[in-house]
Chains A and B, each alone.
Chain A
């Protein structure tokens, strides 16, 4: 009996790996006990279920995405600190090779798929319906399904750390390394299923917001009157819809190779591993634009608001967004120039890669011209925007260097590349998402985040960023390759690596300041009583903070771009206040527990496939089918919110 137990503990719980795992187990256990204890003590289970787990309100779903994204930023950040600690000195024994492999794999996967994606979805959800004058997204129920698929996909991926072992074939997971023959552990299956499940949710979100933006805009809001953030979401959704299926196919085929004995990517029986690389980057390159376009949207809103000027070159901003969404689809081979596809192929994709920089450059100049002679206020969202411009410009320039196919043979997979993509993804996406978080935080929660702590976070993170990544360009040119877990002392890399690690710690301190800032501001943050703390320009700032659950008591009629700003200048804000005779009953979607349960079933099914426990997989999939069926027999999925109730709420908000 004890022998069986020990076997189980060593095989699945990895207790033979020593104190690090035990410590993690204890911490996870304590966290669970803490959460369960607090919920029970304050009798909050009912509240959790009614208000959050079953909600179909886009604002609450957005907040849950935001919390998930910040948690994943923490986990991915800890991974990064571990990697940099290992590399601080030559010949270090802090991590062994296997652990190092696992940590860089989870770091990359989590940051792209479980941090950047939910972060942009958080802003999609919180902002888009409010900006276009809608009461909700096109498909609120599907929106909840999307969130819970993301959540349980992420959970499945993360649980690999303490049950069965983490994936270790890199975030790109190329075969043949990721095939069963070289990587027999369950980690790779976790990777495939976690991403697959959350990927279903991502595609659904893309469809949902595309339909929302095209079909649910307030009357009068023509496409060319749409705020630029909404435009950027539209561009991102187009890319999600067309790019994600390629990832779905690649992962599904690799999973079949691993669990069903097929040979899509093994050299046996005509398989071709290069095809996985190809399919992965057909998704992978649009993906980086999927996450950065919404950041561009945030910067456009922030620059206009904080420079108090209409955005410069709106039409060119829109066309460059659309151009980026289309051209980014024709550049994927630049991720594998060295595969040897031949000079004709490489030339085509090199030129396309350089071309995609042009619309991006147009946007940068438009932001600069918007600031030109504006009265700039240096609040936190604006600071992150200002930091973004030089950071992204340098990242873009090194990107064009990498796009030169012959030169890429030198840079490929070196730290030069690592520095480049961190510069664009952190400088673009993370700075953008943080700017967006600070900007719309009052709209979500009704209070501002503390400026003083935010400035500490800003400076630590930014200075840390440059100290961390500038040395890596040099290291790359000096020959240091990515994914090396240890290096000899006589390569001349020692100082630069140490400096880089110090920078990573500074960024970690910056993150801690953000945590402190959030915690401090919950009690002491400046309350937002006007609903318009930044003197904003677009419709969402005409609503109270936080917005009531039906958003608009009366759907506004839009007559101009930056409508709220114009109304304020002309003293006509009253036009967006509801009049009692105009308030009608509102159809609202009913809350539902099915999306959450469907997520649980997907998790159970996925878990079964990871370990090839087919009875569990079948049970999970049966649960998924049951949840789908139960929805088709739900005939009353809406309720009517009476006009009196709406008027009551509006009076309590002081708007009537």
Chain B
């Protein structure tokens, strides 16, 4: 975010500068997010590794854990609840959810054939 005039913010052309505006994201929030993502990953890995669940509930639990990961990313690292200006990021996230669900659910739908083949 480099080249805008000193002093004069050039309307909608002014890019936000986090480093200088001092918006004070505390280190604690990042650490908490980092620990939460590690814990979620560890649970998922442990469940997959130890085979404590049968495949179909396992997949369900993993999907739920993945959903939590997304939330951790959005709230602790990407600060979706903050920021001013037009809400471009809400549109982007909505589109992201549409695409994500499309990809995941449709891939499962497309791949059902392999269970019939096998």
Contacts and interface: CB of A to CB of B under 8 A. Distances in A.
- Do A and B make up one complex? yes
Interface of A: 56, 132-136, 138-141, 211, 214-221, 238, 242, 246, 272, 274-275, 278-279, 282, 326, 329-330, 333, 339-342, 345, 550-551, 555, 557, 584-589, 637-638, 640
28 contacts: A135-B2, A135-B3, A135-B4, A136-B3, A214-B88, A215-B16, A217-B12, A217-B13, A219-B11, A220-B11, A238-B95, A274-B111, A278-B107, A278-B110, A278-B111, A340-B113, A341-B110, A341-B111, A341-B113, A345-B109, A584-B6, A586-B5, A586-B6, A587-B4, A587-B6, A588-B3, A637-B2, A638-B2
A138 B95 contact: no
B46 interface: no
Contacts, number: 102
Interface stretch (B35-43, B73-81, B96-104): B96-104
A211 B86 CA distance: 13
Given A275-B107, A278-B107, A326-B95, 20 more contacts: A134-B3, A134-B13, A138-B1, A215-B16, A218-B11, A218-B13, A242-B96, A246-B103, A339-B113, A340-B113, A341-B111, A341-B113, A342-B112, A345-B113, A555-B13, A586-B3, A586-B6, A587-B4, A587-B5, A587-B6
Contacts of B2: 56, 135-136, 139-141, 587-589, 637-638
B63 interface: no
**The 6 A-B residue pairs with the shortest CB-CB distance in the complex, in nearest-first order:** A219-B11, A135-B3, A589-B2, A136-B3, A555-B10, A242-B99
A330 B106 CA distance: 9
A327 to B, nearest CB: 11
A219 B5 CA distance: 13
B114 interface: yes
Contacts of A219: 10-13
B15 interface: yes
Contacts of A214: 86, 88
Highest count of chain B CB atoms <10 Å: which of A214, A238, A279, A342: A214
Contacts of B10: 218-219, 555
B12 A345 contact: no
A274 B114 contact: yes
A561 to B, nearest CB: 16
Given A214-B88, A242-B96, A345-B110, A585 B13 contact: no
Interface of B: 1-8, 10-16, 86, 88, 95-96, 99, 102-103, 106-107, 109-114, 117
A320 B109 CA distance: 28
Given A214-B88, A274-B111, A330 B8 contact: no
A540 B50 CA distance: 61
B15 A333 contact: no
A211 B89 CA distance: 11
Nearest to A286: B99
Highest count of chain A CB atoms <10 Å: which of B2, B3, B110: B3
Given A215-B12, A278-B111, A584-B8, A140 B95 contact: no
A139 B16 CA distance: 11
B114 to A, nearest CB: 6
B82 to A, nearest CB: 16
Nearest to B10: A555
A594 to B, nearest CB: 15
A275 B117 CA distance: 14
A140 B3 contact: yes
Contact of A550 (B3, B15, B111): B3
A484 to B, nearest CB: 28
A327 B1 CA distance: 32
B14 to A, nearest CB: 8
Contacts of B1: 138-139
A333 B12 contact: no
Highest count of chain A CB atoms <10 Å: which of B2, B86, B102, B113: B2
A588 B3 CA distance: 5
Nearest to A549: B3
A585 B5 CA distance: 7
B38 to A, nearest CB: 20
Given A217-B13, A586-B3, A330 B111 contact: no
Highest count of chain B CB atoms <10 Å: which of A278, A279, A555: A555
A405 to B, nearest CB: 13
Nearest to A58: B3
Contacts of B14: 215
Contacts of A140: 2-3
